[in-house]
Amino acid sequence: MTSHAIQAGILGVGSYTPEKVLANKDIEKLVDTNDEWITTRTGIKERRIAGNDQVASDLGIEAGLAALKDAGINAMDVDLIIVATSTPDMHYPSTACIIQDKLGCKKAGAFDLAAACTGFVYAAVVAEQFIKAGTYKNVLVIGTEVYSRVVDWEDRSTCILFGDGAGAAVFGPVAGDKGFKATTLGSEGSGGDMLTLPCSGSRIPFGETESVNARAVVQMQGREVYKFAVRVMEEGTEEVLEKAGLAKDDIDLVVPHQANIRIIEHYAKKMKLPMEKIVANVDKYGNTSAASVPLALDEAYKQGRIKSGDNLLLLGFGAGLTWGAAVIKWA
Ligand SMILES: CC(C)(COP(=O)(O)OP(=O)(O)OC[C@H]1O[C@@H](n2cnc3c(N)ncnc32)[C@H](O)[C@@H]1OP(=O)(O)O)[C@@H](O)C(=O)NCCC(=O)NCCS
Q: Could you tell me if residue 197 is inside a domain?
A: yes
The answer to whether residues 77 and 195 belong to one domain is no
CATH code of the domain covering residue 237: 3.40.47.10
Q: What is the mean pLDDT of the chain?
A: 95
15 membership: H or E segment, kind and range: strand 7-16
- Rounded to the nearest angstrom, the distance between the alpha carbon of 50 and the centre of ligand 1 is 25
Q: Kindly report the protein residue whose alpha carbon is nearest to atom 41 of ligand 1.
A: 226
Q: What is the pLDDT of residue 211?
A: 58
Q: Kindly report the protein residue whose alpha carbon is nearest to atom 25 of ligand 1.
A: 33
- Pocket of ligand 1, beta carbon within 6 A: 33, 37-38, 41-42, 117, 156-157, 160, 220, 222-223, 225-226, 229, 259-260, 287, 318
Span 265-293, average pLDDT: 98
Domain endpoint, select from 152, 176, 200: 176
- Rounded to the nearest angstrom, the distance between the alpha carbon of 118 and the centre of ligand 1 is 21
The answer to whether residues 187 and 240 belong to one domain is yes
Q: What is the pLDDT of residue 106?
A: 98
- Rounded to the nearest angstrom, the distance between the alpha carbon of 222 and the centre of ligand 1 is 6
Q: Could you tell me if residue 305 is inside a domain?
A: yes
**For a pLDDT cut of 70, what percent of the chain falls above it?**
95
The answer to whether residues 23 and 41 belong to one domain is yes
CB 104 within 8 A of CB 81: no
The answer to whether residues 212 and 282 belong to one domain is yes
The yes-or-no answer on residue 159 being catalytic is: no
Q: Could you tell me if residue 142 is inside a domain?
A: yes
Question: What domain range is 60 assigned to?
Answer: 7-176
Among residues 81, 91, 84, the alpha carbon closest in space to that of 143 is found at 84
Residue 116 CA: which ligand 1 atom is closest?
Answer: 48
Q: Could you tell me if residue 294 is inside a domain?
A: yes
Span 116-143, average pLDDT: 98
Q: What is the pLDDT of residue 216?
A: 78
Q: Could you tell me if residue 1 is inside a domain?
A: no
Ligand 1: which of 260, 263, 323 to mutate, judged by most atoms within 8 Å of the beta carbon? 260
Domain endpoint, select from 144, 176, 208: 176
The answer to whether residues 142 and 15 belong to one domain is yes
The answer to whether residues 140 and 277 belong to one domain is no
The yes-or-no answer on residue 117 being catalytic is: yes
**Count of domains in the chain?**
2
Q: Could you tell me if residue 198 is inside a domain?
A: yes
Burial class of residue 115 (count of CB atoms within 10 Å of its CB; 0-12, 13-18, 19+) = buried
The answer to whether residues 158 and 264 belong to one domain is no
Span 70-93, average pLDDT: 97
The answer to whether residues 218 and 233 belong to one domain is yes
Task: Give me the long-range contacts of 311-314 (CB less than 8 A, separation at least 24).
Answer: 311/181, 311/246, 311/250, 311/251, 311/252, 311/253, 312/251, 312/252, 312/253, 312/254, 312/255, 313/237, 313/240, 313/241, 313/251, 313/253, 313/254, 313/255, 314/120, 314/121, 314/124, 314/255
Q: Which of 24, 138, 260, 287 is catalytic?
A: 287
Span 165-185, average pLDDT: 97
Q: What is the pLDDT of residue 297?
A: 98
Residue 209 banded pLDDT, cuts 50, 70, 90:
low
Which pTM was predicted? 0.96
The yes-or-no answer on residue 287 being catalytic is: yes
Residue 210 banded pLDDT, cuts 50, 70, 90:
low
Q: Could you tell me if residue 37 is inside a domain?
A: yes
Domain endpoint, select from 126, 157, 176: 176
The answer to whether residues 203 and 323 belong to one domain is yes
Q: Which of 97, 105, 117, 159 is catalytic?
A: 117
Span 54-73, average pLDDT: 98
Ligand 1: which of 28, 30, 41, 224 to mutate, judged by most atoms within 8 Å of the beta carbon? 41
Q: Which of 105, 138, 159, 257 is catalytic?
A: 257
pLDDT at 97 > cutoff 80: yes
The answer to whether residues 151 and 187 belong to one domain is no
The answer to whether residues 95 and 203 belong to one domain is no
Q: What is the pLDDT of residue 215?
A: 66
CA distance 92 to 94: 5
The answer to whether residues 55 and 96 belong to one domain is yes
